Structure 1
């Protein structure tokens, strides 16, 4: 099974729960890029950027899959109403009101330009390619910079 198929099957499994928060949620990161047709390889999880309220709704509606007290590596860089959910094919990470620390200040991560894609009966919003590059630049980690280079090569 391809990574793209794993992403689609995982999203289909929770389509009704995602539909409840889809008006103010975005699929970001590796899963977003793969669904948009960029061959970036594997991704460890599906990342959903939403409001704190949206994160709370998903924490309640998907509580049977929720990982209790997940370890996060980059608390110095990111903060949000965070939750990780374990599914058979891929994990889902939800970030409500995500902020990134830049120059010793917390800045909100907001999607300024997006596009949509429909998978089954679920319409998902994604950052556009240029917006994804802007967000990765804001994050600024080594893996983000590698993804920017790859995206630029693939978009040619």
Structure 2
């Protein structure tokens, strides 16, 4: 990620955990970035972007799964969520740097992350909002 040219973020459950919520299960790490950066990172990792949409709720212009690390890293760009008003683009406005060992990773600010999770609307996302806002 050091070579990323545009802003990028860890979102969803991993971002909630990075904000210090201990009672959260993280199954994978979702990374949201620009299309250009996502294509470059996936090529460097030798991961082919997915050919088709994987979900009726979410879609991305670019999506790939890096399965080598202990937790799968899902790299996405041009990310949208289906809402009552149609497909809604998900692009954070805030960037909070968090040190993880020798690296810096970026997450949306707590309030923006909660807003994003509410937009996703799944029961597990709403539970993440509850946990995230309980520690605010």
* 1:85 aligned onto 2:66: yes
List gaps (5 residues or longer) in structure 2. Answer: none
CA distance in 2 between partners of 1:42 and 1:34 (Å): 8
Scaled by the length of structure 1, the TM-score of the pair is: 0.76
CA distance in 2 between partners of 1:23 and 1:123 (Å): 15
CA distance in 2 between partners of 1:40 and 1:26 (Å): 21
* 1:36 aligned onto 2:19: yes
Task: Show the counterpart of 2:118.
Answer: 137
Scaled by the length of structure 2, the TM-score of the pair is: 0.86
Q: C-alpha root-mean-square deviation of aligned residues, in Å?
A: 2.2
1:106 paired residue among 87, 101, 125: 87
Q: How many residues align?
A: 135
Cα shift at 1:27 = 0.9
Give the 5 Å matches for 1:3-152: 18-21=1-4, 23-63=6-46, 66=47, 69=50, 75-80=55-60, 81-103=62-84, 105-152=86-133
CA distance in 2 between partners of 1:117 and 1:22 (Å): 18
Q: Which has the higher helix share?
A: 1
